[in-house]
Amino acid sequence: MTSVPTDLSIVLPCYNEKENLSSLIYSYKKVMGDRQNIEVIFVDNGSSDGTGNEITTILAKINDPRLKTTRVEINKGYGFGILSGLKVSTGHFLAWSHADQQCSPEDVFRVYDSLMASKKPSHSFGKGHRTNDRGRAAFLTLTQEFLTRLILGEKMIEINAQPKVFPRTLNTSFNMPPNGYELDIYAYYKALTNKFDIVSTNVIFHDRRHGKSKWSFSLFSKIKQIIKNFNYLIFLRLNRKNL
């Protein structure tokens, strides 16, 4: 029997998300239906709460070869977790999203379908665009968009919205991907510098059901994130020829 090539690999980095996993994994299983050319890779990103064992236990119970896992031994950041998942992926198209149930599994397929229906799927970058009112969090997004315009001269909207879906060739062009949250802006910027079309799809960003945000928990943590973003944009600007 010949194996069916994977069209789409979906990477979900999980960092201390034990309580979200059962519902998350079963939702992906349900949304995939009987599509055979998909793989979902749950990355235990060096968690300390038993996330890795929980993923293994649930996947063994479901026993579906399309649902896979890989493990990062020591946490090195959000981006590193995603990159580790991309490394073991086999799809022609790649995607990532969040594992905390704030982003619906359906969105990955909706963005993928929009990308495939676009003029040049192999030269396009699909992304979510959050449409719901997110209160003060929206202020951080606007600040980031303003700084991006100022420093990089690019109009980049809803940079951290999930999912991201793109052809493998974009991943192959990653020369200096960051290990942290900055991976979302890096991939989007790489798509723009490669002259990709940006294909946006409206999504709803839900409240967390379990656990807490890993970065947005105090005014200080938010200011720290804005400064980090600012520094990273300067880095992108200075290194734009070698990224």
Q: Applying CB under 5 A, which residues contact Mg ion? A: 100, 102
Q: Name the residue among 131, 128, 94 with its Cα closest to residue 114.
A: 128
Q: Does 14 bind ligand GTP (CB under 6 A)?
A: yes
**Which one of the spans 7-15, 115-123, 223-231, 235-243 is the region binding ligand GTP (CB under 6 A)?**
7-15
What span, in angstroms and rounded, lies between the C-alpha atoms of 93 and 162? Answer: 16
Residue 45 binding partner per list ligand GTP, Mg ion, none, with a CB distance cut-off of 5 to 8 Å that depends on partner kind = ligand GTP
Decide whether 100 or 182 has the Cβ nearer to Mg ion. 100
Tokens of 23: 């519902």
Q: How many Cβ atoms are within 10 Å of 119's Cβ, its own excluded?
A: 8
Decide whether 44 or 100 has the Cβ nearer to Mg ion. 100
Quick check: helix, strand or coil at residue 115?
helix
Task: Mark 229-241 as b/e (b = at least 16 C-beta within 10 Å).
Answer: beebbebbeeeee
What span, in angstroms and rounded, lies between the C-alpha atoms of 240 and 33? Answer: 41
Of the residues 26, 139, 146, 215, which one makes contact with ligand GTP according to CB under 6 A: 215
Decide whether 22 or 102 has the Cβ nearer to Mg ion. 102
Place of tokens 């490669």: 194
Site map for ligand GTP, 19-58, x if CB under 6 A?
--------------------------x-------------
Residue numbers at the binding site for ligand GTP (CB under 6 A): 13-15, 17, 45, 75, 77-78, 81, 98-100, 102, 137, 160, 208, 213-216
